[in-house]
Amino acid sequence: MIENNQFVGFLNGEAESIVFPKSFFDSLLPKISDLDQLKFLLAYFWLLSKQKEFSLPVSLDVFQTSEQILAILDNDLQRVEKALNLCIKDKIFIEIKDNRTQTAIYLLNSPRGRATFEAFQSGTIKFEELRQGQISKLDEKPNIFKLYEENIGPLTPMIADILKEDEAEFPDYWIREAIEIAVKKNARNWKYVHAVLESWQKEGRNAKDAESRQNDSKDREQYRKKWLGEDG
């Protein structure tokens, strides 16, 4: 029985896409009997779907420093390593070892992963090249401050405080999508972004998307005034 961490249900408008290979469900999932291995793989694919880089090498320390993977395996590094070893045994990952340093990196057993392994075996590509091209951090993604500076403008202490409050209140993928809408509508200010987020929170994200499409045919300034509450 879960008490303090009881699941409260799925959120309204929660529709972030997560990519899994079809064969994960068709061939692999029925064969997995170890719960930690399943948790490890689910977290791995979820993290990589955000990065859209399924073919890059990953090292053990990257797996063991992933906040998401550690969280679902109770911060137990041995459980992370055991889950990874099971994935190697089941040929989900391909292990490439450097005999000189006794270190290893891991590739997903995909067509590109197998091609990379063959290139390593033939000497076409060196271990150091693979190591330099590996994913450095699975959880890495632009934070809210970086997103603001890249899409809206310079960061000030007052704006930073506002961003922290909104980051705590709204899902991160809502924030990213709201910023994308602001950029698309040439309304590059946080007041606009916050208004979009509030409307999704009150009306549901799908409802807001529908209203957004209706307003596409209207004058941009009228649209901005409606969202920012400045009309009248």
Answer yes or no: do 178 and 89 share one domain.
Answer: no
Helix or strand (DSSP H, E) at 68: helix 67-72
Identity of the highest mean pLDDT range in 35-39, 75-79, 223-227 = 35-39
Domain count, the chain: 2
Answer yes or no: do 123 and 161 share one domain.
Answer: no
For residue 173, tell me if it sits in a domain: yes
Domain end among 82, 98, 132: 132
pLDDT of residue 204: 76
**CA dist., res. 40 & res. 35, Å (int):** 9
**CA dist., res. 50 & res. 65, Å (int):** 17
Answer yes or no: do 85 and 150 share one domain.
Answer: no
For residue 61, tell me if it sits in a domain: yes
In a 10 Å sphere around its CB, with 0-12 CB exposed, 13-18 middle and 19+ buried, how is residue 154 labelled?
Answer: exposed
pLDDT of residue 208: 44
pLDDT digits (tens, 9 = 90+) for 108-141: 998 988 998 999 999 988 888 888 777 766 655 5
pLDDT of residue 35: 96
**CA dist., res. 186 & res. 153, Å (int):** 13
For residue 223, tell me if it sits in a domain: yes
For residue 199, tell me if it sits in a domain: yes
Mean pLDDT of 158-181: 85
Answer yes or no: do 128 and 27 share one domain.
Answer: yes
For residue 2, tell me if it sits in a domain: no
For residue 7, tell me if it sits in a domain: no
Range from 18-22, 63-67, 148-152, 203-207 carrying the lowest mean pLDDT: 203-207
For residue 106, tell me if it sits in a domain: yes
Which structural domain, as residue segments, surrounds residue 35? 22-132
pLDDT digits (tens, 9 = 90+) for 83-97: 999 999 999 999 999
pLDDT of residue 66: 85
Mean of all residue pLDDT scores within the chain: 80
For residue 139, tell me if it sits in a domain: no
CA dist 32 to 26, 45, 49, Å?
Answer: 12, 15, 21
Answer yes or no: do 188 and 87 share one domain.
Answer: no
Answer yes or no: do 99 and 159 share one domain.
Answer: no
Q: What percent of the chain lies above the pLDDT cut of 70?
A: 75
* Helices H / strands E in the chain, number of each: 13, 3
Domain end among 83, 107, 132: 132
pLDDT of residue 48: 76
Answer yes or no: do 150 and 124 share one domain.
Answer: no
Answer yes or no: do 74 and 160 share one domain.
Answer: no
Kindly indicate the confidence band of residue 82, based on its pLDDT and cuts at 50, 70 and 90: very high
